[in-house]
Amino acid sequence: MKLRSDYRVLPSLRLVDMPPYAFGQLDELKMNVAAEGTEVVDLSLGSPDRPTDERVLKALYDGMQKRRNQQYPIFSGLPAFKDTICEWFEGRFGVKLDPKEGVLPLIGSKEGIGHLAFAYIQEGDITITPSPYYPVHKRATVLSGGHVYELPLKPENNFVGDLDAIPEDVLLRAKIMILSYPHNPTGACVNKAYLKKAVEICKKYSIILLNDFAYSEIWFDDYKPSSILEIEGAMDVAIEFHTFSKTYNMAGMRLGFACGNPEIVQTLYKLKTNLDYGVCMGIQEAGIQALNLGNEYREQIRLEYQARRDFLMPRLKEIGFKPMTPKGAMYVWIPVNISSLEFANNLLTETGVAVVPGVTFGAPGEGYVRIAMVQGIPALELACEKMAKFCEKHPFAFQV
């Protein structure tokens, strides 16, 4: 490590051992490619391309005019925002949340997921996570001193983790089990029977069931995801995380919420009161407006992603790729024949198409790259043309 001064104060070893967050490195590479004059088609980060709705922006602006909202927020969240969440949740999933203790606004769901590990994991505790994984699903536990049991997602199981394959000694030491379907990066989805089994296991072994439900509203065809809280008994063990980043195109505002078992939600709240001040109240008012945009708005967003998927799948197959058709989320997970890093770097430098190397999501992601459907169809078409040329030039790279 290059030292900036004579002082030598080492960061925590847990942080020193942590590899850099790959998306930061990718940003640099994208900038270099663009600086050389290549047009970059960015299908890397899952950051939605559509603008935040005008009505939501107005609610944010109006919200910030209020003197009270210019001060520190209410730690536990704006009651009107929590009530609106409860109303939406009951309408969508048929589940009544406890608006006082069972809902907590977050500075984005990643923040809450990370902090939940800090709240519960002690030295030696285990978190079980599907792998490949969204990085915070592993890293927060490692930073808290715990161990992670990676449940492999295999193509022969449609990238769904086999809950029966988790060894009993792992279940006995586990404190948190993570589910996150529709899944990032694979696009895998599960049914209610799967959720029921996870609840049964978590109840039997006293494990917190953390459902990261970032893509609850982005689903395709006849598949519609269920909340873990719809499952009988889940309220005893589960906490579910939702985000406004994806469906409402609000990734920049940083807004999400946790809901479920009041004791678990309140433990997260207790940790957060020690570290942050909660969510800006103007942003929570924008969140109320977002939820009130209604089903028509959400359906329009969902159908846009479905149109992108329907455009992309046949073209990727024509090129020669063999991806699984996702039933939800906003990603296509593509097997490649060389190292995922090499494939992604070469594709970017030679063509300007940015995708994420699968190894970013853990060792089982090696041999895959992830495309995020975060551009409109014309840009996807251009990306496909560029990828077709790349694959013609390097046929070995993708014949799997």
Ligand X SMILES: Cc1ncc(COP(=O)(O)O)c(C=O)c1O
- Interacting residues with ligand X (CB under 6 A): 46, 108-110, 134, 180, 184, 212, 214, 243, 245, 251, 256
Closest approach of Cβ 269 to ligand X, in Å? 17
Taking the least distance from each CB to ligand X, the nearer of 46 and 352 is 46
Closest approach of Cβ 50 to ligand X, in Å? 15
Closest approach of Cβ 130 to ligand X, in Å? 10
Closest approach of Cβ 310 to ligand X, in Å? 21
Q: Compute the distance between CA of residue 120 and CA of residue 208 in angstroms, rounded to an integer.
A: 9
Taking the least distance from each CB to ligand X, the nearer of 108 and 365 is 108
Quickly list H helices, 320-397: 340-351, 377-393
Taking the least distance from each CB to ligand X, the nearer of 248 and 390 is 248
Q: Which residue in 164, 167, 226 sits closest to 200, CA to CA?
A: 164
Q: Compute the distance between CA of residue 326 and CA of residue 333 in angstroms, rounded to an integer.
A: 8
Q: What is the rounded (10 degree) CA torsion for 396, 398, 399, 400?
A: 130
| Omega prior to 185 cis, within 30 of 0 | yes
Closest approach of Cβ 326 to ligand X, in Å? 13
Q: Compute the distance between CA of residue 333 and CA of residue 372 in angstroms, rounded to an integer.
A: 9
Q: Compute the distance between CA of residue 264 and CA of residue 239 in angstroms, rounded to an integer.
A: 7
Strands annotated E in the chain: 41-42, 103-106, 126-131, 147-152, 174-179, 208-212, 238-243, 256-260, 331-335, 353-354, 356-357, 368-372
To which H or E segment does residue 267 belong? helix 262-275
Closest approach of Cβ 399 to ligand X, in Å? 29
Closest approach of Cβ 245 to ligand X, in Å? 3
Q: Compute the distance between CA of residue 266 and CA of residue 112 in angstroms, rounded to an integer.
A: 12
Taking the least distance from each CB to ligand X, the nearer of 237 and 258 is 258
Kindly state the tokens that stand for 346. Answer: 């070469």
Taking the least distance from each CB to ligand X, the nearer of 278 and 386 is 278
Kindly state the tokens that stand for 222. Answer: 């006849």
Taking the least distance from each CB to ligand X, the nearer of 151 and 214 is 214
Q: Compute the distance between CA of residue 110 and CA of residue 70 in angstroms, rounded to an integer.
A: 24
Question: SS3 of 158, please?
Answer: coil
Taking the least distance from each CB to ligand X, the nearer of 256 and 352 is 256
Closest approach of Cβ 128 to ligand X, in Å? 16
Taking the least distance from each CB to ligand X, the nearer of 213 and 398 is 213
Taking the least distance from each CB to ligand X, the nearer of 324 and 388 is 324
To which H or E segment does residue 199 belong? helix 192-205
